[in-house]
A and B are shown apart, each in its own frame.
Chain A
Amino acid sequence: MLAVPGGDQQQQEEEEEEEAALGSGARYAKAGAGPAPLAPSQPGGGGRCRGQDYSSQAAPPEPEPGAGIGPGAERPRTAMAMAWRAAPRAARLLLGRRGIASCIDPSTGLTEDQKEFQKVALDFAAKEMAPYMAEWDEKEIFPVETMRKAAQLGFGGIYVKPDVGGSGLSRLDTSIIFEALSTGCTSTTAYMSIHNMCVWMIDTFGNEEQRRRFCPSLCSMEKFASYCLTEPGSGSDAASLLTSAQRKGDNYVLNGSKAFISGGGDTDVYVVMCRTGGPGPKGISCLVLEKGMPGLSFGKKEKKVGWNSQPTRAVIFEDCVVPVGNRLGAEGQGFSIAMQGLNGGRINIASCSLGAAHASVLLAQEHLSVRKQFGEPLANNQYLQFRLAEMATRLVAARLMVRNAAQALQDGREDAPVLCSMAKLFATDECFGICNQALQMHGGYGYLKDYAVQQFVRDIRVHQILEGTNEVMRMIVARNLLQG
């Protein structure tokens, strides 16, 4: 840089430096004289990086018609789009857009405390998760350290009781937190919600000894947990599971296998539903297994369309010996424990979908404002305006359903389980539609892995399938309507 003396120059440097440190997060430049100040600790550059918004900078000239999306062509390059890997647009938009009150603002109607929780979670998502979301997806990295950082803030056992290390918050607080974290990386947040569900199950149905043995290290995420219900032969028909647990003295001996287990092979604690009695739900019990127990092994890591920041493997039991002291609750109570865990799990998964949809709406909003065709921004087209409005409307509707169900579950209302099913059904379906629409609005760019919207689409697609398929959700709602 030219060392031209004069105040202007210095101010310019300082502004750039601040902008660099405050903005992109990856660059760090203090040009000019003097010894370099202390280097910033990675990631994210020196100090806290704020969501500097570069969109006041005009976009570069539009490509020639017919240029296509070959490597040589110009892309709608706001500085934000270019810096997506280092400081993703979605994260910047979220940090930035938080400042403007809008119809899809997720903080409306929340208490002061809930707004604080949401703020911390959004900050964490934008700084610790969003910059890495693409890399975690591409390289299939299970981000253990980042999750442990989240656990330090209390996100490891959000609705677990404080006496064993949990944060003791409500289901609604939990929903708000997962929705916010999901804007940073949906796949990782979804795993964290599964982890939280398992810790809650041990906290709620375990005896004192089990709670103290397992919960503290799970709340801090020193250890990670997996939920094992599904089997190759029993998915929606969960009660027909076959993994057997034969009582032999002070132990159970397990034989069978579980399929599609999130975290399987990398996690330490496994909450396993297995058959200790006769057929049907009443013969199922819940056992807690630990990695390293003889007879416990894992299948190959599955290759998935999304959720790539968490490994998915089969869990195999071959004469696996588990002490009776590892059983949660009574024999035959396992299915009920599993279903009660899933009520919360469904809220959480729906909340993850909400976060992804919110981020996608912001990305679409931005793209429509920047991208020009036929001489004007896409946002001038009424069709796209209407589509965006519909996306926003459905997002808010889904959010209200999820929060309503969370409150019902917190209050222990009788209709809570069916409300959770309705919320999961509605939110996951609608949010996938929203993310998909957002991708469509991006045109060809939406299909490129350089742009975040495709990852949101891929990551939340599975939310319509797991924790009870949306078809099973309909079964539950229909049963509630027609049996009563």
Chain B
Amino acid sequence: MAGKPWGAHLRQVRPPEPAVPPQVRVAPGGAGVQTQGVKHGLNPFCEIALEEAVRLREGGKASEVIAVSLGTKASQETLRTALAVGADRAVLAEVTEGAAPGPLEVASALAALARRLQPQLVLLGKQAIDDDCNQTAQLLAAMLDWPQGTFISRLELESGAVRVQREVDGGLETLRLRLPAVLSADLRLNEPRYATLPNIMKAKKKPLEVIPASDLGVSGGPSRLKVLQVQEPPARAGGEKVENVETLVEKLRQSGRI
């Protein structure tokens, strides 16, 4: 594409997510996992999306990267990390403690912010590693009536459009989407950078705007999804060696596996 960067607002969107739980424990009552005492941090897939956004700006293809989140006050820390990695500014749609937004609430908030901030591209992680919903990007695209490219492993901006490669069940699919569009990042899109010490210091000076979720016209929770039960996978039982393939097939049939 032509060398001149066009005025694309590139926006990286990320709901706040817990860091990899060290030892996931089912909460008493079985209605979720224990989150008390667990520190929260930037979702890995969102990190990848953020990295892609920053690379686009560094390559001159985008003019600004805005990191966005829906969450409580604690999410400011996550947004500061995003600023340290390279976002230009950040916006937090704040909810009260205990609000527990689900994908629908997050997508609503992001849609409201998108209408306000007018980006050309919205990049999200494909799913959050705590609930693995994989819904937010799709819901957001539908709300905004924008084209969506999910599970992307490659991205190329063209004039007025974006060409993405998606990892799908059958292999790789390449799409060309007109801008503005919503994309969700998959694992192999890039390898995120470490924030450098100077950039962490610079992040302090970058603007972080906090808007109450109600100002955006969204409730921010609670989610209409209710988790009925969470249980640990069955403890690993011993294996069994068999003599030949016929016995193997027979045993698999007996246990209902085939």
Chain A residues proximal to chain B, CB less than 8 Å: 4, 10, 18, 21-22, 32-35, 37-38, 40-41, 46-48, 50-53, 55-58, 61, 93, 95-101, 112-113, 115-117, 119-120, 123-124, 152-155, 158, 162, 167, 169
Residues of A within 8 A of B170 (CB): 33-34
Q: Are B169 and A48 in contact (CB under 8 A)?
A: no
Q: List 10 A-B contacts (CB under 8 A).
A: A4-B258, A32-B169, A46-B188, A57-B236, A95-B20, A113-B200, A113-B204, A116-B195, A117-B197, A117-B200
A18: which of B47, B187, B197, B235 is its contact (CB, 8 Å)? B187
Q: Are B187 and A33 in contact (CB under 8 A)?
A: no
A124: which of B22, B194, B203 is its contact (CB, 8 Å)? B194
Q: How far is the CA of A113 from the CA of B196 in the complex (A)?
A: 12
Q: How far is the CA of A99 from the CA of B196 in the complex (A)?
A: 22
Q: Are A169 and B44 in contact (CB under 8 A)?
A: no
Q: Decide yes or no: A53 and B194 within 8 Å by CB, A18-B187, A101-B37 being known contacts.
A: no
Q: Are B39 and A48 in contact (CB under 8 A)?
A: no
Q: Are A120 and B20 in contact (CB under 8 A)?
A: no
Instruction: Tell whether B222 is near chain A: CB-to-CB under 8 Å.
Output: no
A176 shortest CB reach to chain B, Å: 11
Residues of B within 8 A of A119 (CB): 41, 81
Residues of B within 8 A of A21 (CB): 187
A259 shortest CB reach to chain B, Å: 34
The contact string, 1 if C-beta is below 8 Å from chain A, for chain B 183-204, is: 0000111111011111011011
B188: which of A38, A50, A98 is its contact (CB, 8 Å)? A38
**How many residues in B have their beta carbons less than 8 Å from beta carbons of A?**
47
Q: Decide yes or no: A101 and B39 within 8 Å by CB, A116-B195, A120-B194, A154-B196 being known contacts.
A: yes
Instruction: Tell whether B171 is near chain A: CB-to-CB under 8 Å.
Output: yes
Instruction: Tell whether B207 is near chain A: CB-to-CB under 8 Å.
Output: no
B242 shortest CB reach to chain A, Å: 16
Residues of B within 8 A of A97 (CB): 22
Q: Are A113 and B172 in contact (CB under 8 A)?
A: no
Q: Which label, helix, strand, loop or mixed, suits the secondary structure of the A interface?
A: loop
Q: Are B23 and A55 in contact (CB under 8 A)?
A: yes
- List 8 A-B pairs, minimum CB-CB distance, nearest first: A34-B171, A154-B197, A96-B22, A47-B187, A167-B197, A50-B20, A99-B22, A116-B200
The contact string, 1 if C-beta is below 8 Å from chain A, for chain B 146-159, is: 00000001100000
Q: Are A56 and B19 in contact (CB under 8 A)?
A: no
Residues of A within 8 A of B100 (CB): none
Instruction: Tell whether B221 is near chain A: CB-to-CB under 8 Å.
Output: no
Q: Decide yes or no: A120 and B200 within 8 Å by CB, A58-B235, A100-B37 being known contacts.
A: yes
Instruction: Tell whether B209 is near chain A: CB-to-CB under 8 Å.
Output: no
Residues of A within 8 A of B189 (CB): 47
Residues of A within 8 A of B187 (CB): 18, 21-22, 46-47
Q: Decide yes or no: A99 and B81 within 8 Å by CB, A34-B172, A113-B201, A124-B194 being known contacts.
A: no
Residues of B within 8 A of A41 (CB): 191
Chain B residues proximal to chain A, CB less than 8 Å: 18-24, 37-39, 41, 44, 47-48, 77, 80-81, 84, 129, 153-154, 167, 169-172, 187-192, 194-198, 200-201, 203-204, 232-233, 235-236, 238, 258
Q: Decide yes or no: A50 and B232 within 8 Å by CB, A37-B167, A55-B23, A99-B38 being known contacts.
A: no
B190 — nearest CB in chain A belongs to which residue?
A: A47
Q: How far is the CA of A303 from the CA of B226 in the complex (A)?
A: 62
Q: Decide yes or no: A37 and B84 within 8 Å by CB, A113-B200, A155-B197 being known contacts.
A: no
Q: Are A47 and B188 in contact (CB under 8 A)?
A: yes
B112 shortest CB reach to chain A, Å: 28
Q: Decide yes or no: A99 and B20 within 8 Å by CB, A37-B188, A124-B194 being known contacts.
A: yes
A166 shortest CB reach to chain B, Å: 10
A57 — nearest CB in chain B belongs to which residue?
A: B236
Q: Which of A22, A41, A57, A154 has the most CB of B within 10 A?
A: A154
Q: Decide yes or no: A99 and B197 within 8 Å by CB, A18-B187, A47-B48 being known contacts.
A: no
Q: How far is the CA of A113 from the CA of B167 in the complex (A)?
A: 37
Q: How far is the CA of A174 from the CA of B211 in the complex (A)?
A: 35
Q: How far is the CA of A312 from the CA of B125 in the complex (A)?
A: 47
- Given contacts A22-B20, A56-B232, A120-B195, could you give 4 more A-B pairs where the C-beta distance is less than 8 Å? A4-B258, A41-B191, A50-B129, A99-B21
Q: Decide yes or no: A37 and B172 within 8 Å by CB, A46-B187, A47-B187 being known contacts.
A: yes
Q: Are B191 and A48 in contact (CB under 8 A)?
A: yes
Q: Are A154 and B198 in contact (CB under 8 A)?
A: yes
Q: How far is the CA of A357 from the CA of B36 in the complex (A)?
A: 26
Residues of A within 8 A of B200 (CB): 113, 116-117, 120
Q: Which of B20, B171, B172, B196 has the most CB of A within 10 A?
A: B20
B40 — nearest CB in chain A belongs to which residue?
A: A99
Residues of B within 8 A of A61 (CB): 238
Q: Which of A10, A18, A152, A155 has the most CB of B within 10 A?
A: A18
Q: Decide yes or no: A53 and B23 within 8 Å by CB, A153-B196, A167-B197 being known contacts.
A: yes
A18 — nearest CB in chain B belongs to which residue?
A: B187
A119 shortest CB reach to chain B, Å: 7
Residues of A within 8 A of B44 (CB): 22, 47-48, 50
Q: How far is the CA of A123 from the CA of B19 in the complex (A)?
A: 12
Q: Decide yes or no: A100 and B22 within 8 Å by CB, A116-B81, A153-B197 being known contacts.
A: yes
B203 — nearest CB in chain A belongs to which residue?
A: A116
B84: which of A32, A35, A116, A124 is its contact (CB, 8 Å)? A116
Residues of A within 8 A of B201 (CB): 113
Residues of A within 8 A of B47 (CB): 48
Q: Which of A4, A38, A101 has the most CB of B within 10 A?
A: A38
Q: How far is the CA of A47 from the CA of B125 in the complex (A)?
A: 13
Q: Are B80 and A112 in contact (CB under 8 A)?
A: yes
B185 — nearest CB in chain A belongs to which residue?
A: A47
A100: which of B38, B129, B171, B197 is its contact (CB, 8 Å)? B38
